[in-house]
Amino acid sequence: MATSPLLKSSKLGIYSRQCLKTLSSRRTFTTQLTEQQQSIQELARNFANEHLKPVAAKHDTEARFPFEPIKKLANLGLMGACVSKENGGLGLDYLSLALAVEELSRGCASTGMVLTIHNFLYLNLVNEKGTDKQKEIFLNDFTKGALGSFALSEPGAGTDVAGIQTRATLDGDYWVLNGKKTWVTNAIEGKGLITFATIDPELRHKGLACFLIPMETDGVFRGKKERIMSVRAATACPVTLEDVRIPRDYIVGAPGEGFRIAMEQLDQARIGIAAHAVGIAQSALDTAISYAKKREAFGKPLSRLASVKDRLTEMCMLVETARLATYRAAVDVSTKNSAMAKYLAGRNATAVADHCVQILGGRGLSVNYDAERHYRDARGTQIYGGVTDIQKRLVGHYLLKEHDAL
């Protein structure tokens, strides 16, 4: 971009160029994908088209867990996408994983959800914060097909993480855990569990600790699968811990560091859920365009009607806005960026799916068409991983913090 003569000749020009240089050095985000990222995107897209789209509706209707797709994804290495190569993973970056989640969720939202929780919440935590011994037990097999779970929410502590009541008591060389967790995705099929407990409830967030638990440990009880409107083929259930004894070195970090660990992992999880929402939104847009091209009204395809064209245009802009925010969050991880991405992606996906239902009209309400499934799946993305209301609060808090306005 050419610099104007005014900027070249004045002190203002010197100052402006310095500011531009400073800003450009800070804002390094680009929409240009690397060759590796493009390869992962194409791999996931082809997999979704071949193995997920043909069975997505059936798995949703029957609430059937996608065992075969998950096994195939493990063989491709995507069930250990960001895990170091030394521990059996692909060693990818977060954006590559987000691209895979988006494409897989475009084919089947339930499969995308399973992959998201397993990678962003379970594997990445163990890979980045676990000891060598912990990785040997809780990581290596989990890149090959074993599933991991992440248990944070409780009946009385969802958004208020500091209110966790599950207790952890040190007894010699063992931790003893007692409590109940809710909405634990992958727990029914899972082999490993990351959970959070307090060593002293009066300490609130300063008393939390993070633990690794083999799911087959005595005292770990899985509850019944929750029947929910979204991602029906994925599973979530309560998990009860009754005098669960685990070795002392199964704690991640130190007592009191659990809150920080949970918050850091939730920053990652929001990236995954945002990518998941973008995939659902894209699928809803695809469905609407395909239908609008074939269905005729007033002697011409719906796609040529101004009202339908306006809806499709709005849908496109909503999808692209969410996609850009998600990619930005994946390459510049922060609470503000991930909360903003999840807020936009969840809200936009729901709006896009709503437009899709409207374009299909009566067929949009029918369970024999994909539109109603997209609507149900999109709506869930505003709830799990942190409700939309809280994401907006987080963005506002960190925005004002950046400007010393708190």
DSSP state of 178: E
pLDDT at 114: 98
Q: Is the pLDDT of residue 226 over 80?
A: yes
Query: Which residue in the block uniquely carries the two structure tokens 């669960």?
Result: 244
**199, 222, 255 - which closes a domain:** 255
pLDDT at 242 over 60: yes
pLDDT for residue 28: 62
Q: Residues 175-190: pLDDT tens digits? A: 999 999 999 999 999 9
Query: Domain boundary at 143, 163, 184, which?
Result: 143
Q: What is the DSSP letter of 85?
A: G
- The whole-number pLDDT of residue 27 equals 54
Residue 275 has pLDDT above 90, yes or no: yes
Whether 15 shows a pLDDT value over 60: the answer reads no
**% of the chain exceeding 70 in pLDDT:** 93
- Pair (108, 58) in one structural domain: yes
Does the pLDDT of residue 81 top 60, yes or no? yes
Task: Answer yes or no: do 192 and 224 share one domain.
Answer: yes
Based on the domain organization, do 224 and 121 belong to the same domain? no
pLDDT for position 159: 77
By DSSP bridging, strand 208-214 and strand 192-198 are antiparallel
192-198/148-151 β-pairing: parallel
Beta strands in 63-137 (DSSP E): none
304 within domain boundaries: yes
Residue 9 forms part of a structural domain: no
Predicted confidence (pLDDT) at residue 19 exceeds the cutoff of 60: no
Query: Do 269 and 381 lie in a common domain?
Result: yes
Host domain of residue 387: 260-402
* Among candidate residues 262, 254, 242, the one with its CA nearest the CA of residue 194: 262
Last residue of a domain, which of 99, 126, 143? 143
313 in the same domain as 198: no
The angle at the Cα of 278, spanning 277 to 281, to the nearest 5 degrees, equals 85
Of the ranges 10-19, 103-112, 159-168, 289-298, which one carries the lowest mean pLDDT score?
10-19
Whether pLDDT at 57 is above 70: yes
What is the value of pTM for the model shown?
0.92
Whether residues 282 and 381 share a domain: the answer is yes
Residue 10 placed within a domain:
no
* 336-347 residue pLDDT tens: 999 999 999 999
pLDDT interval class at 158 (50, 70, 90): confident
Asked if the model's pLDDT at residue 69 lies above 80, the reply is yes
The amino acid that residue 302 corresponds to is L
Residue with token string 């450009």: 24
pLDDT, average across residues 352-367: 97
The CATH number for 211's domain is 2.40.110.10
pLDDT at 72: 98
3-class secondary-structure state, position 171: strand
Provide the number of structural domains found in the chain.
3
Q: Is the pLDDT of residue 335 over 80?
A: yes
φ, ψ of residue 178 in degrees (nearest 5): -140, 130
Instruction: Measure the CA angle with vertex 150, ends 242 and 159; round to 5°.
Output: 95
Q: Within a 13 Å sphere around the CA of 363, how many CA atoms are in the beta-carbon half?
A: 10
